[in-house]
Amino acid sequence: MNLGPIEQLKTTHPELEVWWDSSPLIFKKWVKKMVDHSAPEEKEEVEAQLSRLLNLEEPAKSVFTGCTTNPPLSLTAVQSDPDFWNEWIDQLILDNPDKILKELFWLTYKEVLRRGSEIFKPVFEASGGKYGFVSAQLDPRLFTEVDIMVRDAEELRAINPNIMIKVPGSTQGIEVLKILASKAIPTNTTTCFSVPQIMASARATAEGIKLAQHAGLDISKWRAVITHMIGRLTENKELDIQAERRGIHLSWEEKHWWGIMTFRHAYRLLTDYGMPSKLLACSMRDGPLSGGRYRFWDLEKIAGGAIVYTCPPYVLEPLFEKCKGIIFYPEIEKDDIPPDVLWKISKIPYCIQASDENGMEVDQFNTHPATIDTVANFSKASAGLESYVGERMKIVTGSKGAI
């Protein structure tokens, strides 16, 4: 058996995990697309490698040990099978004539999560609750509403025991993380870009889980991960604006060296402080062309740690199609950031805020440029699933539907 790139990546550390970043409901169709686009002589091998990532026949044997998803990705799942979902949503509307659009959207989102979490439940059960979690994101439009986020988190958690709640790394989200950990509810910090956010998240969950222990709650199936959105940090326009003001130009490679450095630094801090949370790499970008080969630095340069990668199709597709023959080595502990990069980022406030453990206070999280842009993007995308349900309401009821 030839190891695929994800399987080879996992060999760099026994506690390294790779998750699927999309609804599990679309995986089979995505595999078919990848196989169809492969060269004839590669189809059989590609199908074998991809099918091992999420073994739909025997999920407990899958390479993927978890899954991240959100309302926009749930919309993708609905759109990938419109015949089924249109009928399901239409029946939901008919069965609940008293419910408004927001409530019907929420029920649809929960059903997508329920079906996806069922796919990973065998992984959860086979591992005794260590793996097999499916992350369910809170509505990003409510990222400042503590009470609503806690209420919605408890509702999502009740769907299945392998549901993990994605909580925003906002000022209010840090409080929510502590509250949920105190209830032994697993969490995944999202919209998180900086070392200060990562460390605040880690401290909040550590404090919360101590409260859960003191209360005598069962924490054997609790865990917390903290997402670092590498690409959304390095690509934010504020980085270029602040660099230009100082007469500094950052190349694509230099920006990604900085993102890698920030991730590595957060990993060392979590390890040194003995935090119970695990760092998760997200929003990774393929490239660059280096030494005559197409590389994937965002994957390669942080390999070899007790971390989680969550990989959507836009990560897996170039990895399988463009990074032929890639071999991963343990690199996360390396100290190989080019001196020019270190000098440049030391002059840019945006970089200092994100990379320094004390670069921001908790009450500054909501105004960080990457937070503002990503929350706006996620909020707009989340409205997509709600709008989809709204369109079905118009068809079923013959009216615009109550909002």
The per-residue pLDDT for range 330-361, each reduced to its tens digit, is 999 999 999 999 999 999 999 999 999 999 99
**Distance from C-alpha of 109 to C-alpha of 282, rounded to nearest angstrom:** 22
Q: Would you state the structure tokens that stand for residue 290, as one six-digit string?
A: 């280096």
Render pLDDT for 131-186 as a digit per residue (tens, 0 to 9).
999 999 999 899 999 999 999 999 999 999 999 999 999 999 999 999 999 999 99
Give the pLDDT score at 258. Answer: 98
**Distance of CA 261 to CAs 19, 214, 258, 334, 360, Å?**
22, 37, 5, 10, 18
**Distance from C-alpha of 74 to C-alpha of 89, rounded to nearest angstrom:** 13
Task: Say if residue 240's pLDDT is above 50.
Answer: yes
Q: Would you state the structure tokens that stand for residue 127, as one six-digit string?
A: 């591992």
Domains of the chain, each with CATH number or no CATH? 5-397 (3.20.20.70)
Sign of torsion over alpha carbons 309, 333, 236, 141? positive
Find, among 268, 238, 234, 271, the residue nearest to 253 by Cα.
234
Task: Say if residue 400's pLDDT is above 80.
Answer: no
**Distance from C-alpha of 326 to C-alpha of 293, rounded to nearest angstrom:** 9
Indicate the pLDDT class of residue 313, thresholds 50, 70 and 90.
very high
**Distance from C-alpha of 126 to C-alpha of 229, rounded to nearest angstrom:** 30
Task: Say if residue 401's pLDDT is above 70.
Answer: no
In this structure, what DSSP letter does residue 296 have? B
Give the CA diameter of the chain: 64
Which amino acid type is present at position 289? L
Output the CA angle 309-63-66, nearest 5 degrees: 55
Output the CA angle 155-57-316, nearest 5 degrees: 75
Which amino acid type is present at position 359? G
Interval 44-57 mean pLDDT: 96
Find, among 134, 120, 137, the residue nearest to 53 by Cα.
120
Give 83's contacts (C-beta < 8 A, 6+ positions apart). none
**H or E element, residue 262:** helix 252-272
Residue 215 phi, psi dihedral angles, 5° rounding: -85, 0
**Distance from C-alpha of 131 to C-alpha of 41, rounded to nearest angstrom:** 35
Render pLDDT for 10-38 as a digit per residue (tens, 0 to 9).
999 999 999 999 999 999 999 999 999 99
**Distance from C-alpha of 213 to C-alpha of 149, rounded to nearest angstrom:** 23
Interval 277-297 mean pLDDT: 95
Helices and strands: H and E segment counts in the chain: 17, 10
DSSP-assigned states of every residue in 309-376: EEE-HHHHHHHHHTSTT------TT-----HHHHHHHTT-HHHHHHHSTTS--GGGGGGSHHHHHHHH
Distance in angstroms between the alpha carbons of the first and the last residue of the chain = 54
* Residue-averaged pLDDT of the chain: 95
Best-predicted range by mean pLDDT among 72-81, 305-314, 394-403? 305-314
Q: Rg of the chain over CA atoms, in angstroms?
A: 21
CA atoms within 13 Å, Cβ hemisphere of 5: 21
Task: Say if residue 393's pLDDT is above 70.
Answer: yes
**Distance from C-alpha of 145 to C-alpha of 2, rounded to nearest angstrom:** 49
